[in-house]
C-alpha cells in the first residue's frame, strides 16, 4: 500500500477509532468528540501511529493523538498567537523573526494533528498548499534579503506534499538563492514512515545542504518502520535532528527522556531541542512546570553525554523569541511568573502553573 493511500485511510472520526480498532474512548476523549459543534482543532491519526498505543488509558502515543475535552479549557494566559509571530509576518506564509533565517509555511495539512500543537491556528486550517504566486513571493524575498541564510519549511507538515510539489518548492528557493540552507520540519518519520520512500530521498538529496528536523517525543515512537525511514534519509546524506516537546503524561520523567535521547543517537539522530510547552490555547494539560523542566535537565546533564543532550529552550510568549533555559536567561520566580530575559535583554514572563 502506498503512502498516499495510507494517508487517506487515516482515522478522522471517533466512530472509526471505535468500530475499526476496538479502541474504547475514555470519558474525557468521548466528551471532546461530543463537543465538536464548537470550533475545534482538526483530528487525524494514521493507522500505523494508532497501532503504537500499548495501554488503554495512560499511554504516551495515545495522549499525543487522541483529543480530550481538556482542549476546550483555555487558560487566561494562553494565546491564539503564542509566539507573537503576527508582527514578524512578511506574508501569510513567511515569518522572518530572526535575522538569518525565515520560516515558510508551505501547507496546512498534517498526517496527524498532534494534540499539543502550538501552530493549531494554522495547521488543519483553510490555507491548504502554497500557491505558485505565494512561492514566487517567498523566493523573491530571500533573493532580496541576502542576510537570510536558512529557509525552514514548516506548516502543517511539508512531507505530506507530493514529491513533485516539494521538488517545485525546493527548486524555486534554490533558483532564487543558490547558497540557501534548507530545513524541513516534519513529524512524518514518526507518524507515517512509509512516506519516506526512495523517490523522496532522491529528491531531497539534490537540495543539499538540507536538514530534516523531526519530532520524536517518546521511545515508543521508535519502531522498525520509523527507524528505517530515518536511516533512508541519513544514508542519502540528509542529516536528521530531533526537536522534542516536554509533555506532561508523555515524557516528563528523567527515565523517559533518557531512554528517548539514547535511542535517538543510536539511530544517528542528534537531539537538538527539548521545548518547554508554548502557551497555545487549550494545551495546559500538556504543560510541565518550568521548575520541573529545569530539575529534569539538571538530572539529565549528569547522566547524558553532550551528544545525546538537547538544549532545553522556550519560545517566549509575546514574540520574545527562543531562548535556552539556563542561568544567563532565567531570572526569579515572581507573582507574574518566571522572569526570563530574551537575546536583547528584554524581560518576558512565563507562568508557573
Ligand atoms: C524556531 C524558529 C526558527 C529556528 O530557530 P533555531 O533556534 O535556529 O532552531 C526560525 N524562525 C522561527 C520563526 C522560529 O520559530
User: For residue 272, which atom of ligand 1 is closest to its CA?
Assistant: 9
The per-residue pLDDT for 13 is: 86
Q: Is the shortest distance between the CB of 101 and ligand 1 below 6 Å?
A: yes
Task: Fill in the DSSP letter of residue 216.
Answer: -
Q: Is the shortest distance between the CB of 89 and ligand 1 below 6 Å?
A: no
The C-alpha angle with vertex 226 and arms to 220 and 229, in degrees rounded to 5, equals 165
Does 58 reside within a domain? no
State which of 97, 151, 243, 310 you would mutate to test the pocket of ligand 1, scoring each by most atoms of that ligand within 8 A of its C-beta: 97
Does 238 reside within a domain? yes
The per-residue pLDDT for 124 is: 85
The per-residue pLDDT for 286 is: 98
The per-residue pLDDT for 37 is: 63
Instruction: Report how far apart, in Å, the C-alpha atoms of 286 and of each of 11, 92, 339 are.
Output: 23, 28, 21
Does 37 reside within a domain? no
Query: What pTM value is reported for the model?
Result: 0.95
The per-residue pLDDT for 343 is: 85
Does 333 reside within a domain? no
* Grouped pLDDT means (10 residues each) for the chain, 353 residues: 93 82 87 78 94 85 95 93 92 96 97 95 87 97 98 97 98 98 98 98 98 98 98 98 98 98 98 97 97 96 96 93 90 93 91 93
User: What is the per-residue pLDDT across 66-115, written as a single tens digit (0 to 9) for each?
Assistant: 999 999 999 999 998 999 999 999 999 999 999 999 999 999 999 999 99
CATH number at residue 297: 3.20.20.70
Does 137 reside within a domain? yes
User: What is the per-residue pLDDT across 127-158, written as a single tens digit (0 to 9) for each?
Assistant: 799 999 999 999 999 999 999 999 999 999 99
The dihedrals phi and psi of 125, each to the nearest 5 degrees, come to -95, -140
* Number of independent structural domains in the chain: 1
Instruction: Report how far apart, in Å, the C-alpha atoms of 156 and of each of 31, 114, 238, 287 are.
Output: 26, 11, 21, 22
Residues identified as active-site: 97-98, 101, 110, 114, 117, 119, 278, 315, 322
Q: Which domain holds residue 143?
A: 73-319
Does 270 reside within a domain? yes
C-alpha of residue 200 to centroid of ligand 1, in Å: 24
Cα 4 from chain centre: 21
Does 28 reside within a domain? no
Amino acid at each position: 500500500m502506498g503512502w498516499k493511500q495510507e494517508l487517506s485511510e487515516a482515522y478522522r472520526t471517533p466512530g472509526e477509532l471505535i468500530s475499526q480498532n476496538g479502541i474504547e474512548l475514555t470519558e474525557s476523549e468521548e466528551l471532546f468528540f461530543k463537543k465538536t459543534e464548537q470550533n475545534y482543532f482538526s483530528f487525524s491519526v494514521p493507522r500505523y501511529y494508532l497501532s503504537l498505543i500499548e495501554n488503554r488509558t495512560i499511554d504516551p502515543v495515545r495522549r499525543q493523538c487522541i483529543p480530550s475535552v481538556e482542549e476546550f479549557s483555555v487558560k487566561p494566559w494562553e494565546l491564539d498567537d503564542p509566539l507573537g509571530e503576527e508582527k514578524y509576518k512578511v506574508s501569510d506564509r513567511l515569518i522572518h523573526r530572526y535575522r538569518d533565517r525565515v520560516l515558510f509555511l508551505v501547507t496546512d495539512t498534517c498526517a496527524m494533528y498532534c494534540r499539543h500543537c502550538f501552530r493549531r491556528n494554522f495547521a488543519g486550517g483553510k490555507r491548504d498548499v502554497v500557491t505558485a504566486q505565494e512561492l514566487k513571493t517567498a523566493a523573491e524575498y530571500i533573493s532580496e534579503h541576502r542576510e537570510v541564510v536558512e529557509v525552514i519549511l514548516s506548516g502543517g507538515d511539508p512531507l505530506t506534499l507530493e514529491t513533485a510539489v516539494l521538488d517545485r518548492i525546493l527548486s524555486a528557493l534554490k533558483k532564487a538563492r543558490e547558497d540557501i540552507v534548507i530545513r524541513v520540519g516534519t513529524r512524518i518519520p514518526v507518524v507515517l514512515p512509509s512516506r519516506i520512500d526512495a523517490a523522496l530521498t532522491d529528491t531531497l538529496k539534490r537540495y543539499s545542504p538540507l536538514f530534516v528536523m523531526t519530532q520524536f517525543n517518546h521511545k515508543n515512537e521508535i519502531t522498525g518502520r520509523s527507524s528505517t525511514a530515518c536511516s533512508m534519509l541519513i544514508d542519502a546524506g540528509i542529516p536528521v535532528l530531533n526537536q522534542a516537546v516536554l509533555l506532561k503524561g508523555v515524557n516528563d520523567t528523567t527515565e523517559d527522556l533518557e531512554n528517548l535521547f539514547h535511542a535517538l543517537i543510536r539511530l544517528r539522530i542528534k537531539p537538538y531541542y527539548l521545548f518547554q510547552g508554548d502557551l497555545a490555547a487549550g494545551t495546559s494539560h500538556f504543560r510541565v512546570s518550568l521548575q520541573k523542566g529545569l530539575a529534569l535537565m539538571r538530572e539529565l546533564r549528569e547522566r547524558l553525554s553532550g551528544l545525546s543532550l538537547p538544549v532545553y529552550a522556550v519560545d517566549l510568549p509575546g514574540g520574545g523569541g527562543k531562548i535556552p533555559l539556563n542561568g544567563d536567561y532565567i531570572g526569579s520566580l515572581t507573582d507574574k511568573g518566571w522572569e526570563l530575559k530574551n537575546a536583547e535583554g528584554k524581560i518576558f514572563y512565563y507562568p508557573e502553573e
